[in-house]
Structure 1
Amino acid sequence: MMAFENNNKRVSQDISTATETKKRKVEFSNEITLHTLPSTQTQDMDDFTVAMFARFIKSGLDELDNRDNTKINEIGNRLALPARNPDRLNPQNMNVLLDILSGNVNRIETSRANHLIQSIINFEKWWELPTVTLNKYCTFIKILCSSITKWWQDIAITLISSFTLSTETCTPHHALLQYFLRMIPSSMSFMDTYLAKNFPNKNDSAKNLVNYISNLLQLTTYCKELRFQVWSLIIEKIISLDVELQNELDEMDDDVEEGFEEDDASDDDENSDISDESDNEGNDNDTSEVHENGSDSESEDENALMEDDEEYVKEISLNIKDLTAKMDSILTLLSGSIAKELTPENMENGDGVVVFNILTTLFKTHVLPTYFTKSIQYVMFMLSQQQPELMDSFLVTLIDISFSPNETSEKKIKSLQYLGSYIARARKLSRTQVIFVASYLTSWLNRYVIEREAEVDDVGGMDRFKQFYAAFQALCYIFCFRRTLFRDVDGAWECELDKFFQRMIISKFNPLKYCNENVMLMFARITQHEDIAYCFSIIENNNNERLRGIMGKSSSSTDSTTNLKEKSPPLRATSSVWSLATRQQFIDLQSYFPFDPLFLKNYKKMVQEYYIEWSDVSGDYESDESDA
């Protein structure tokens, strides 16, 4: 124990007396037997030490009243020592300190006691104190903040900063937070700031990220008022990871493509070298030696570059693995936690509706506007399938966004992509829900063709009709996955799809040309097999027209004399040139299917019962790893 200031000689005499008493109790015999102090007397010694410390604390408080904080700071210094330091205050003395301070909080309401209070608040691993001491610690914290409210924010920061520990370890943290959030409701105004500030960096360990999110979710169980802020924060962080993962994957793909291009360039260089060697035949030997040395040098450089590329690809691969593991753990945790709040009982009492409304809002504000995320959208995919009414609500949300006059064109198209992919993949959807969406889409597309088909011949690119193509592609995608649901009991096609598709594919919009090629090819195979429509001749014509555009030829006569007489190129030629110039824009539109198969191992297992694989419905058609 640290030597505290000693103003009384009688204390040292007492210690000497106790020592002498101990010596008199030790007896020796021929067998050298040692007799120790009775346990009751050892307890008396401990009580004596505790009493000394209690007097020291009270003396320190008396001196603090007289503006002398020397003793109080000495106690603070002992509290601030690391947990492994033997001089740190032990639990017995900690009990005494907390008891005395709890009954004298008004006496430490001065800046001179700040060091002592901060040392208590930041006491290292206070949650590992023995149960009795831990209870006294929590009681003191409650009394302190009730009397001196300025300390609550410091305590809140300390509690939240420990959220990287497991939820089991943070049980006392949550007990204190629950108490204060109930006692000081105004503190919710700054809690979200602290939660965001202490959130681990995305480069932090998966363990810390998962623990922090687990504790955030635990927080929402006793403070429902913070659900929106907490879930919003979690989803923002997941999106950040999701986008970074997608960028890493794209970068790896680009590196692979560049590698192929460099190989091709190397082949060209080799061919060029062969030609140079042929040209230099007959030159003197000195020239040949220089050429060979140059080749050796180039070879060494190429080997060095290859090694660098391999290391770079390896580094990206490890980063992808790390990000994938984090995403997998976090999404599994988040979906599993929120699913528990969407039970039939919670739906009945209204709390489940509130939960899903929050999720819907976050989907619209965070997930939907973000381009090409791979995983975060599966939270809504899975949770919406917990109850039939939730699926209805999600479908209505997507339809509203897709066709709202107040939404941007980009957001409408993204929503249509989600709508088509969701209907195709969501296993829990009923036939009624699928038919309803298909009916809505066919009605809208029919009206669109009637009202706007004449505009195709007007000057302007086909990007004017992106919403039409997105809606048609969504419907075709749905049909490829759900075709068995579209026949009624008499075998007739629901929504008169046979007549509808025949009308659409021959319209001036020519959707088979501007929608995703893979989807249109699969759609063509299925409609031909089902005797609905015949698309391959149109697809072939489109391909020929595209080829003529690439070669710089129009569909009209290429006779040079004729072309000289023409003052302007024909309309079809202009259309072909336009389609090439804007092709990339349509590729981005066509190729995004939000609910393509997951590649997160554990989360995929969780989602599996809600998900339709292409292999489940492909039937006689080829099983495509890219899922049509």
Structure 2
Amino acid sequence: MMAAASESVAAALLPSALATASRKHKRSGDDFDAAPKRVRFAETSLGLNGSLEPANDPPPSALDHTITLDMFSKFVVNALDERAAGRNVHYNELRRKFRADPRAGELSDEEPPSSNELRMTLHALTGVVSRLGDNCKQLVSDIVACKWVGRDQMFVGEYVRFLGNLVSAHASYMSEVTRMLVGNFGYLSSSEGQIQGYETVARSLMYERVHYALQFILDLVPTAAVSTLWPHLTENYPHRMEKKGEHTAYLTNILRVIDYVPALRQRILALVTERTIRIDVEVQGYLDDLDDEELAQLEADVQDDYEADDDATSVVSDDSNMSDDEEEPLPTTMTSIQTIRETADKLDSLLAILFGHYSLSFPNDSAFEPSDSESATFEMLHRFFTTTIMPTHRSRFTQFLIFWAAQRSPQFSDRFCVSLIDKAFDNARTVRQRTQAASYLASYVARAKLMPTEDIRIIVRVLCRWLGEFIDQRSIECTGPDANRWAGFYAVAQAVMYIFCFRHRELRELDPESIDDDMDEDDINPPASALSATSTSAVMGGRWTPGLDIMNKVITSKFNPLLVCAKHVVDMFAKVASDNEFLFCWSVLDQNKRRGALPRISNGSLPAGMMVFQGMTNGGAGTLDAFFPFDPPTMCPKMKNWIDDLYVEWSNDDEEVGEDDYDDEEDSMMIGGDDEDEDEGTESDDD
């Protein structure tokens, strides 16, 4: 009896004695508390084989090791026995061990437990993990919440092994453990890996440890991926007001989860798309508050900052790219130019990360047939576009994901364009949905550099044929231009005009008589990437693609789209069409000028007056908004790098259209030099 009592007292005193020994001999190198040798994370067993040591370290004396583990095991068992009996002294001692900040010794005389002491304690707790039920919730919470990612490898290995045994024995702790691990997906301060007396642990290695632990416990409890992990991934997603470092870290880490939990791939990508577009809308809201001069200066400053930054892309694994200054809270008042720049830079970095992620899932060469997995990835992204991006009011940058992805394969481009045409022609859809689809189609066809010339011609023919059939069927109902009643018609007509401004060279075909035997296919139908979208010189001996001549009937009809469509689109179309001897619009424009403007309508996607041609001012107001979602993304230079080789820029060398141009052209409406009968399109009581 006396012997048993002495053994119990010795076990109770064990932690204090070990802590004292640790402080006296912490770096002696000849006891178990000596600083462990550091090895790379990938070279460490992490406790999976039951070992406490890194793979490259020789084990300590077997006898000393066994004695040490036995001493710790007795202390832990004694503390749990006392806890069950209602005595908490040694139980609370266990809790204090894990609640101590490993960096506290730098600021006070009281040195926290060493990693080796905690490691031995964890090993002992793992042996009795079945006893850590509801009566020990506080202890488990302290262990789960302890500072572990920046400790030495041997401790990390034992810690991960403990977590695995814990969730296997007690499913009720799975949520708490998962919440802790996902909580480490955000920005980790470099100080987390700077524990006095130990080598610094890089931020990238800390993230690697978190993912290893998460993958380890999910391998043990696979059903937790959907039931437990997914809710925590959503709950822990940073608020849109958080700093860039928090967002980029979390986005990079949540995308990493897809590697070992592929079942969550679609959910994760849908989530990050939805959260990214929230910031997109916020940026656009700020830009709307700036006047033209302020906006131009801001865009120039953003580009200057980007060009001055040697490390333009943000990579979470590179410690130099994230300063601890980014941990400071964001100001509550978001009004300054600097705040706008920071928010735009945050969005730019997030989109660059998303482009990098998707680039691993798409073909590098559009000449090759996409694989089934690549096609499935595009279909998934296309669903995100349809359900999240396209319906979002005022989105301006996130949609470039689909712009880029669609050009990775001609099949993807066809799929994207066909879906937009279907939406634009679908009378069952709302006016907003139809006009949005027409705007997206026009903007894509005009800007997508890799789009084959024949595909451009086919799309224009389809749009023109629909316009012609619409006029034939509905003109009897039309008494004059009505922006609300015929909004779908005007959106398609504006789409054709916009495409023509960029693609008139591709829409001009060679006459069969002018084709020489020495011409190859590229001479007859040059690829879009080889043509200038800004040249206004006519191709000698050419004719316009079949079906395009319907635009004469469209423009002279009672619907009068030149009055309703956005003025700067109409004016530029009139100039480009005239310069290429395709069609002369000046007489109708002159009549419309005398008539006066109609009330403006909006498709609800972007504010009125959004620039359609970079460097070109909006010279006036039509009634239909000029919403072209693939206008240059000037505020996102990192993202823009991904699309530069796929993008048709507007660069008009001619002077902008002025009022005097209305009187400088012939009054007759002509297409390709042929006279057409004019419809009476100016008599209407509907203004």
- The two structures have a TM-score, normalised by structure 1, of 0.74
What is the deviation of 1:55? 3.2
Q: Which amino acid counterpart does residue 235 of structure 2 have in structure 1?
A: K
State the alpha-carbon separation in 1 of the partners of residues 29 and 439 from structure 2: 81
State whether residues 83 and 91 of structure 2, in contact with CA within 8 Å, keep that contact through their aligned partners in structure 1: yes
Confirm or deny: 8 A CA contact 1:384 1:390 kept in the other structure: yes
Partners of 2:100 and 2:450 lie apart in 1 by 58
1:178 to 211, 215, 221: 215
Secondary structure of 2:508's counterpart equals coil
Q: Secondary structure at 1:590's aligned position in 2? A: coil
Residue 581 to residue 477, structure 1, CA distance change in 2 (3 Å):
closer
Render the CA deviation track for 1:509-540: whole Å, top value 9, x for unaligned: 11111111111111111111221211011101
Choose from 641, 648, 653 the match for 1:605: 641
Structure 1: gaps (5+ residues): 23-35, 258-311, 547-575
State the distance in 2 between where 1:10 and 1:536 align.
98
Distance 1:529 1:49 in 2: 91
Deviation at 1:412, TM superposition (A): 0.8
User: Which residue of 2 is the match for residue 231 of structure 1?
Assistant: 269
Partner deviation per Cα, 1:598-620 (whole Å, 9 max, x = no partner): 111221222211111012xx4x5
Secondary structure at the counterpart of residue 614 of structure 1? coil
Return the offset for 1:421.
0.3
2:134 aligned to which of 102, 106, 111: 111
Corresponding residue of 1:94: 118
Identity value in percent:
27
Aligned residues of 2:238 and 2:247 also touching (Cα < 8 A): yes
Q: Structure 1, residues 108-164: CA drift from partner, whole Å, max 9, x if none?
A: 2x322212211111111x122211221111111111101111111001110111111
405 and 192 in structure 1: CA distance in 2 versus 1, 3 angstrom threshold: farther
Secondary structure at the residue paired with 2:625?
helix
Contact preservation (8 Å) 2:348, 2:637: yes
* Gap change, CA 1:187 and 1:545, over 3 Å in 2: same
Q: How far does residue 477 in structure 1 lie from its aligned partner after superposition?
A: 0.7
Determine the C-alpha separation between the residues in 1 that align with 2:369 and 2:260.
19
Which residue is 2:440 aligned to? 418
- Structure 2: 5+ residue stretches without partners: 1-6, 35-59, 106-110, 189-202, 296-331, 512-541, 603-607, 610-620, 658-687
AA aligned to 2:643 is V
CA distance in structure 1 between the partners assigned to 2:160 and 2:31 by the alignment: 31
The question of whether the paired residues in 1 share the 8 Å contact of 2:424 and 2:434 is answered with yes
Structure 1, 471-480 or 377-386: larger mean CA deviation = 377-386
Which residue, 189, 197, 202 being the options, matches 2:235?
A: 197
Q: 1:503 to 1:243 in 2, by over 3 A?
A: same
Tell me the residue number matched to 2:362. 342
CA deviation string 1:50-91 (max 9, x = no partner): 764443223223434545443233111111111212443312
Q: Tell me the alpha carbon deviations over residues 239-259 of structure 1, each in whole angstroms, 9 at most, x when there is no partner.
A: 2212122221222339989xx
Structure 1 residue identity aligned to 2:545? E
Equivalence for 2:196: none
Q: Distance in 2 between matches of 1:69 and 1:10?
A: 12
The equivalent of 1:63 in structure 2 is: 82
Name the structure 2 match of 1:329: 349
For the residue of structure 1 that corresponds to 2:478, the secondary structure is: helix
In the alignment, which of 423, 444, 460 is matched to residue 401 of structure 1?
A: 423
Q: The residue matched to 1:371 in structure 2 has which SS? A: coil
Partner of 1:355: 377
Say if 1:234 and 1:9 are closer, same or farther in 2 by CA, change over 3 A. closer
Contact 1:456 1:509 in 2 (8 A): yes
Q: Is the aligned partner of 1:7 residue 2:27?
A: no
Q: State the shift of 1:405 in Å.
A: 3.1
User: In the alignment, which residue of structure 2 is the partner of 1:540?
Assistant: 590
Higher helix proportion: 1
CA distance in 1, matches of 2:161, 2:393: 50
> 2:538 aligned with 1:494, yes or no?
no
The one-letter code sitting in structure 2 at the alignment partner of 1:106 is: S
Task: Indicate conservation of the 8 Å contact 1:248/1:316, yes or no.
Answer: no
The letter for the 2-side match of 1:209 is H
Q: Which residue of 2 aligns with 1:456?
A: 478
| Partner of residue 554 from structure 2, selected from 504, 510, 513 | 504
Aligned equivalent of 1:524, options 557, 574, 589: 574
Q: In structure 1, what residue type is equivalent to 2:207?
A: C
Amino acid at match of 1:177: L
Q: What is the CA distance between 1:581 and its match in structure 2?
A: 7.3
The question of whether the paired residues in 1 share the 8 Å contact of 2:185 and 2:249 is answered with yes
Larger Rg: 1
CA distance in 2, matches of 1:525, 1:11: 93
More displaced 10-residue stretch of structure 1: 162-171 or 478-487? 162-171
Report the Cα distance in structure 2 between the residues aligned to 1:439 and 1:222, rounded to whole angstroms: 47
CA distance in 2, matches of 1:91, 1:37: 15
1:188 to 226, 233, 239: 226
User: How far apart, in 2, do the equivalents of 1:508 and 1:144 lie?
Assistant: 76
Pair 71,38 (structure 1): closer, same or farther in 2 beyond 3 Å: closer
Q: State whether structure 2 residue 499 is matched by structure 1 residue 478.
A: yes
How has the CA–CA distance of structure 1 residues 588 and 211 changed in structure 2, closer, same or farther, with 3 Å as cutoff?
Answer: farther
TM-score, normalising length: structure 2: 0.68
1:589 pairs with one of 591, 610, 624: 624
Counterparts in 2 of 1:435 and 1:133: CA distance versus 1, 3 Å: same
